[in-house]
Amino acid sequence: MKAQFDEPEIPPAPKVETDRLFVAILLDKYIQDGLTSLIKDLRSLDVPVKWLEPGNLHLTLCFLGEVPRSKEQEVMERLQLVRREFNPFGIQLGGLGGFPNLKKPSVLFAPVSEGWEKLRDLAGAISKNLRGFGQKQEDREFNAHVTLGRVKGFKGAKTIQPKLEGKIPALIGKMGVNSFALIKSQLNPEGPVYTILHEFNLAG
């Protein structure tokens, strides 16, 4: 007769505390004011777009997604290495773009019309140094832009471009890029809440 033994209980794995993180350029007041004015003009067109709140506008360099809190200090240390490799530079925003295009966009954005090459290099260095830290890191080509709004539904998307005629500014504003920031995003029904964890000044 075989002896019967109870299976040992395996304790559940401890929950890993994470934060939703991304790295971005914080926009100065002059650019913020220019983008707020543009959104106000576009809002008057009555297009099916959910516009971002002015305080949430930023220029994303690298979206990491959920990162274990135990890894955040190492993320900051690696960003310290990156910031030493770059000197301050200038950028200019102007025009209006859409993903995947303006004919039937899902997202409307303000593109960086000057200085995007240096932004691309900075974003590339950050992504390379943070490889493997986030669950949502993407390998697609960097596109320097500030998201303005997201289109609600597909049917109304094709009605947007004709209404934009005469509303696209050649120049929104210029600013100096002297730093970048590691930001935590908390998703809420009313919209995301952003918390700056640390700002990294560029060398020089």
Q: Which of 20, 27, 47, 58 is catalytic?
A: 58
Asked about 145 being catalytic, the answer comes back as yes
Q: Find out whether 107 and 151 touch, Cβ atoms under 8 Å.
A: yes
Q: Which of 24, 125, 145, 173 is catalytic?
A: 145
Q: Find out whether 109 and 102 touch, Cβ atoms under 8 Å.
A: no
Catalytic sites, residue numbers: 58, 145
